[in-house]
Amino acid sequence: MKYKVRFVNPQKQYKDHQKEYLKVVDDVFSRGDLILRKDLEEFEEKFAKFVGTKYAIGVNSGTDALSLSMKAAGIGQGDEVIVPGHTFMASISAVFHQGATPVLIDVGEDFNINPNLIEKAITPKTKAIEVVHLNGRIADMEKILSIAKKHNLIIIEDAAQGLGAKMKMKNGKWKQAGSFGLAGCFSFYPFKSLGAFGDAGAVTTNHPEIAWRVRLLRYNGEDRETRRFYFHGETSLLDNVQAALLNAKLRYLNQWLKRRREIANFYKKGLGNIPEIKLPHFGDSRFFDVYQNYVIRAENRDSLVSWLAKKGIETIISWEVPNYKQPVMQPNSIILPETEKICKEVVSLPMYPELTNWEVGYVIKCIKEFYKKKD
Ligand SMILES: *Cc1c(COP(=O)(O)O)cnc(C)c1O
């Protein structure tokens, strides 16, 4: 199928920055700086600054960022971790990898964990809340932080989709995804807002002990200064060349996030009057959304998806089946009503900074045609 509007388009970003990216790679390779070199250190410093934490530790994926920070936080056998049911499976797998038990609870209209359901899920075994900031919108951290404080629970943030999303706190200060919890976990999977050329991730934290542990855990458990092994670790590094490329890309991140918000506004203007669809604009001026994904809820979702495909527009559905119905999660008796509804209704529209205004307009036009067609 030849698409007119691709769901993602990494070639286009590459073309726009080809000279710069190739120069970065050539420079790194010419220096022979492959593992744990200055480009990684520089990226960790800049990334921590961007998110607003003291430390950032590069690792090889968002999934490992979750696993290593949970391990560093001491989450293990016998512990329960409260997790939103509507999320990428990795959020849940990371809990299982610690030998702990994920306790899935439902989400709200903003697709994020429903804070009103958290306290009911707390048991004497609960050790942590894993908050996911889905689609580039922060979960209601004001409420979640106060619940965590009251019950003495750790917060681990799955910020893989939250980079750059902000929330205005009661004290009037804006705080970014990844800076609220004991640890923030990021993914630089190629199609995230800041994408590497392959798999990559990072952990952010303000806690020196967590930073030290993640740093050791990502590289066999060895303290590189004393040459002593303190843990049985992994080999899970952010490659120096990827870090160098991410350094180059980080300079454009704010500009790219701005463009995502602009495209979201075009969608809002163009699609706002169609009663059969619900757009991901949830009001509340305390939230600064960055639209990692633009997820609409649509009547006749599956026919809309086929119609758009016929028009040459690529979309994806995240996710068609709730996590707890996947084979790996069987058997269980979980039913989360909002998650079930979401899985039947959602479709993600193309959303990346390189989309042209014409492409966005074409997507809008075709969706309008689909709903007009019916009456
Ligand atoms: C992408 C993603 C991850 C995993 O990141 P990888 O780098 O692909 O391992 C985890 N959680 C969420 C919500 C994600 O979107």
Global model pTM greater than 0.75: yes
Question: What is the CA(131)–ligand 1 centre distance, in A?
Answer: 13
pLDDT in tens, 44-99: 999 999 999 999 999 999 999 999 999 999 999 999 999 999 999 999 999 999 99
For residue range 283-336, what is the model confidence (pLDDT) as tens digits? 999 999 999 999 999 999 999 999 999 999 999 999 999 999 999 999 999 999
Ligand 1 and 189: CB distance under 6 A: yes
Q: Above 90 in pLDDT, residue 373?
A: no
Site to probe by mutation for ligand 1, drawn from 8, 59, 63, 292 as the one with most ligand atoms within 8 Å of Cβ, is 63
How many A from CA of 270 to the centre of ligand 1? 30
Integer Cα distance of 325 and 272 in angstroms:
33
Assess contact for 158 and 185: CB atoms under 8 A: yes
**266-292 pLDDT tens trace:** 999 999 999 999 999 999 999 999 999
Alpha carbon of 365 to ligand 1 centroid (Å) = 32
In whole angstroms, what is the distance from residue 157 CA to residue 138 CA?
Answer: 10
The count of other CB atoms within 10 Å of the CB of residue 156 is 29
Give buried/exposed letters for 203-242 (b at 16+ CB in 10 A, else e): bbbbbeebbbbbbbbbbeebeeeeeeeeeebbebbbbbbb
Strand-strand pairing, 55-59 and 201-205: antiparallel
The rounded Å distance from CA 29 to ligand 1 centre is 28
- Residue 128 binned pLDDT confidence (cut-offs 50, 70, 90): very high
Kindly tell me if the per-residue pLDDT of 254 is higher than 50.
Answer: yes
Distance 199 CA to ligand 1 centre (A): 10
Task: Report the separation in Å between the CA atom of 133 and the middle of ligand 1, taken as the mean of its atom positions.
Answer: 11
Is 158 near ligand 1, meaning CB less than 6 Å away? yes
Mean local confidence (pLDDT), 139-160: 98
For ligand 1, say whether the CB of 132 is within 6 Å of any of its atoms. Answer: yes
Extract the tokens encoding 170: 């009661």
Q: Is the CB of 63 under 6 A from ligand 1?
A: yes
Average pLDDT over residues 214-221: 98
